Copies of this chain bind each other. A is one copy, B any other.
């Protein structure tokens, strides 16, 4: 079970040195070094302490470790994309629903200042996630309010009521992905 490389990637992504991580996790620098180089099979307890310091759960970590990298694709030029939004001030640019059965609906969303998705929707079963690219968006989910800034990701169950609102004074952009396709 090789976990060293992934561990290092996570640490680096936090901008931490081995010493800094050792301080946070209460695990020795030497141990961390050996872990990252797969010179040891750390105990669950030790690994847990390290991951806690990195703000990651065991499940999340092994999900990364065990995930097989894989991908593949065909292109859809911008010109071929269509706006599926009925709302003024909101653009939902995506791939027209084709004969093929897509499991993910990818949308490039643009909200003019003050624009929202309207009343609180709830769609059918499925999940919805996305990332904020520009602007400031308020997200209501199931009675709770969250604020999205550039780089922030959201993820929720589509069955919960939700609504997006651009609360900033400039255009807001979001890339979203939903499953299954629902529009």
Contacts and interface: CB of A to CB of B under 8 A. Distances in A.
A182 B106 CA distance: 18
B155 A123 contact: no
Interface residues of A, number: 103
Contacts of A142: 72
Contacts of A45: 1, 41
A73 B130 contact: yes
Given A59-B99, A70-B122, 12 more contacts: A1-B48, A56-B96, A57-B62, A70-B121, A71-B164, A71-B176, A72-B142, A72-B156, A73-B129, A74-B144, A76-B152, A177-B177
Interface of A: 1, 3, 5-6, 9-10, 12-14, 40-48, 55-78, 80-86, 93-104, 106, 108, 117, 121-124, 126-131, 133, 139, 141-142, 144, 146-162, 164, 175-179, 183
